[in-house]
Amino acid sequence: MKGTEAFQELLPLLGDEPVVHANGFICRESFNLKDRPENFYMIGSMGLASSIGLGVALCKPDRKVIVLDGDGNVLMALGTLAMIAAEAPKNLVHVVIDNEVYESTGKQRTLSNTVPLEKIAKSSGYREVARVDKKEDIKPAFEKMLNSQGPGFLLIKVEPCFDHKTGRVTHTPEEITERFMKSLH
Residue numbers of the site for other proteins (CB under 8 A)? 20, 40, 42-60, 77, 79-80, 82-83, 86-87, 173-174, 176-177, 180-181, 184-185
For residues 33 and 184, which CB has a smaller minimum distance to other proteins in the complex?
184
Contact 169, 41 (CB under 8 A): yes
Helix (H), strand (E), coil (C) string for 29-98: HHHHHCCCCCEEECCCCCCCHHHHHHHHHHHCCCCCEEEEEEHHHHHHCHHHHHHHHHHCCCCEEEEEEE
Q: How far is the CA of 58 from the CAs of 90, 94, 144, 146, 182, in angstroms? A: 9, 14, 21, 16, 18
Alpha carbons within 13 angstroms on the beta-carbon side of residue 8 total: 9
Q: How far is the CB of 20 from other proteins (least distance, A)?
A: 7
Alpha carbons within 13 angstroms on the beta-carbon side of residue 163 total: 10
For residues 64 and 157, which CB has a smaller minimum distance to other proteins in the complex?
64
For residues 122 and 179, which CB has a smaller minimum distance to other proteins in the complex?
179
Q: How far is the CB of 138 from other proteins (least distance, A)?
A: 25
Contact 93, 154 (CB under 8 A): yes
Pairing of strands 128-132, 108-109: unpaired
Q: How far is the CB of 134 from other proteins (least distance, A)?
A: 32
For residues 54 and 156, which CB has a smaller minimum distance to other proteins in the complex?
54
For residues 84 and 129, which CB has a smaller minimum distance to other proteins in the complex?
84
Q: How far is the CB of 11 from other proteins (least distance, A)?
A: 21
Q: How far is the CB of 130 from other proteins (least distance, A)?
A: 24
Q: Return phi, psi of residue 47, to 5°.
A: 100, -15
